[in-house]
């Protein structure tokens, strides 16, 4: 890759980065001018992102905007707080190989960790980091960002896809997922909650991250500060409810997204409170009353959406998400559905926590 991207050195070490469900990711170190520099090379998944050039146009604009703002505020350690794209030899933010595959390269950020399960304090700083990131993008100028995946959070469309997969059942798996299918069908009405509120103008479109999974934030290994928001592929127009939802979905349960022991899968209200405080604290200057009102319902909807996406992919033979066992997507689906049950049972308490956070922040800004 060194001869393809603007890297002037000799490869000394390479490894595969696992964790993401979508791209193939490699970490490579090069000896450049007597120093070891490390980069992240990613082969873009074209099954998922069908227009990599537009995708990289978005990413380039987003990182340039965030970087310019960090520089203007003279922030310390700026290079570790936003991703740095390395251009190819022609100056493009991607390189197309002989097979027609698209590659991109970022500078590796040193001394960071990611987490799949978090404590209260990590949840607070991570939620604040995502809110802050979106705040930085609210004044991005120029044309509307491209929709890198059409209908990404269109839950009714996701539900239709599930129905098609159930009807076609190409891998004869529907029988093994009867309980989950019934669970999804029984809740089909919730699918349109966010799309209707957006269509009626209640919820404003904003640039949001759209995939605020806990493992999409890099923490400083020593201070545990949430340093850098990553995975910018779905930064595009959307709803703040989507971002809050994925924070809740991926942080409040004391277990991983594919945990099979469902007793360990539930919304821990203390962590939910930390997420609410962190996110609202960093977004209070621009969130509307309506956006606040849809945070808790949105968390349930997007958890539902994620669950039915896993279920659909299971029925379709695991064509989308990376899996390491045949029931992996079904296990992930069960996990999300258990989380929904926990949210349904604790909904009033969650609403009360959000209201408390709002009061606290408005009273003591």
Contact residues: ligand GN1, CB under 6 A: 20-22, 48, 211, 213, 216, 231, 233-234, 257, 306
Q: From the CB of residue 238, how many other CB atoms can be counted at a distance below 10 Å?
A: 24
Which is nearer to ligand GN1, 242 or 272 (by Cβ)? 242
Q: How many helices (H) and strands (E) does the chain have?
A: 11, 11
234 binds, among Mg ion, ligand GN1, none (CB under 5 to 8 A by kind): ligand GN1
CB of 4 to Mg ion, least distance (A): 24
48 binds, among ligand GN1, Mg ion, none (CB under 5 to 8 A by kind): ligand GN1
Residues 6+ away with beta carbon under 8 Å from 158 = 151, 191, 305, 308, 309, 312
Sequence-ordered strand ranges (E) for 44-167: 85-86, 95-96, 102-107, 112-113
24-32 and 35-43 strand pairing? antiparallel
236-238 and 217-220 strand pairing? unpaired
CB of 40 to Mg ion, least distance (A): 12
Distance (Å, whole) CA 127 – CA 245: 11
> Which residue is nearest to Mg ion, using beta carbons?
231
CB 28 within 8 A of CB 38: yes
7-26 residues near Mg ion, rule: CB under 5 A: 20
Which is nearer to ligand GN1, 88 or 231 (by Cβ)? 231
Interacting span for Mg ion (CB under 5 A) from 163-171, 212-220, 333-341, 349-357? 212-220
Which is nearer to ligand GN1, 231 or 331 (by Cβ)? 231
CB of 20 to Mg ion, least distance (A): 4
Q: Which of 45, 212, 216, 335 binds Mg ion (CB under 5 A)?
A: 216
The half-sphere exposure of 149 on its side-chain side, counting CA atoms within 13 A, is 18
231-270 residues near Mg ion, rule: CB under 5 A: 231
Which is nearer to Mg ion, 277 or 318 (by Cβ)? 318
N- to C-terminal Cα separation, the chain: 49
Distance (Å, whole) CA 283 – CA 306: 24
Interacting span for Mg ion (CB under 5 A) from 68-76, 96-104, 224-232, 338-346? 224-232
Distance (Å, whole) CA 326 – CA 305: 21
Per-residue CA distances from 364 to 38, 136, 235, 285 (Å): 43, 22, 31, 13
> Which residue is nearest to ligand GN1, using beta carbons?
21
Which of 113, 143, 144 minimizes the C-alpha distance to 126?
113
Which is nearer to Mg ion, 123 or 229 (by Cβ)? 229
CB of 13 to ligand GN1, least distance (A): 25
44 binds, among ligand GN1, Mg ion, none (CB under 5 to 8 A by kind): none
Which is nearer to ligand GN1, 20 or 297 (by Cβ)? 20
306 binds, among Mg ion, ligand GN1, none (CB under 5 to 8 A by kind): ligand GN1
Query: Where do contacts with Mg ion occur on this chain (CB under 5 A)?
Result: 20, 216, 231
């Amino acid at each position: 890759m060194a001869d393809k991207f603007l890297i002037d050195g000799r490869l000394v070490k390479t490894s595969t980065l696992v964790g993401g469900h979508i791209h193939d990711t490699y970490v490579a170190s090069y000896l450049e001018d007597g120093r070891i520099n490390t980069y992240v090379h990613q082969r873009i998944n074209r099954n998922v992102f069908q227009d990599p050039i537009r995708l990289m146009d978005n990413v380039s604009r987003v990182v340039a905007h965030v970087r310019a703002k960090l520089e203007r505020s003279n922030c310390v350690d700026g290079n570790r707080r936003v991703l740095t794209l390395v251009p190819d030899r022609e100056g493009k933010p991607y390189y197309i190989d002989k097979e027609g595959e698209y590659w991109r390269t970022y500078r590796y950020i040193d001394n960071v960790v990611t987490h799949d399960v978090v404590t209260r304090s990590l949840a607070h700083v991570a939620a604040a980091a995502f809110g802050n990131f979106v705040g930085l993008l609210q004044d991005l100028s120029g044309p509307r960002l491209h929709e890198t995946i059409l209908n990404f959070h269109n839950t009714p469309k996701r539900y239709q896809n599930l129905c098609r997969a159930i009807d076609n059942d190409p891998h004869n798996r529907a029988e093994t997922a009867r309980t989950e299918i019934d669970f999804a069908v029984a809740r089909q009405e919730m699918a349109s909650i966010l799309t209707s509120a957006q269509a009626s103008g209640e919820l404003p479109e904003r640039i949001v991250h759209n995939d605020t999974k806990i493992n999409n934030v890099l923490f400083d290994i020593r201070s545990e500060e949430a340093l850098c928001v990553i995975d910018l592929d779905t930064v595009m127009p959307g709803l703040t409810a989507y971002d809050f939802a994925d924070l809740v979905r991926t942080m409040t349960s004391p277990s991983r997204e594919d945990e099979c022991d469902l007793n360990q899968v539930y919304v821990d209200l203390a962590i939910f409170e930390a997420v609410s405080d962190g996110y609202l604290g960093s977004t209070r200057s621009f969130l509307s009353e309506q956006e606040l009102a849809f945070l808790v319902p949105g968390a349930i909807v997007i958890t539902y959406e994620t669950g039915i996406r896993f279920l659909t992919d299971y029925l379709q033979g695991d064509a989308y998400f990376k899996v390491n066992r045949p029931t992996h997507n079904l296990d992930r689906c069960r996990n999300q559905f258990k989380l929904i049950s926990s949210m349904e049972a604790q909904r009033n308490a969650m609403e009360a926590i959000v209201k408390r956070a709002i009061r606290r922040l408005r009273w003591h800004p």
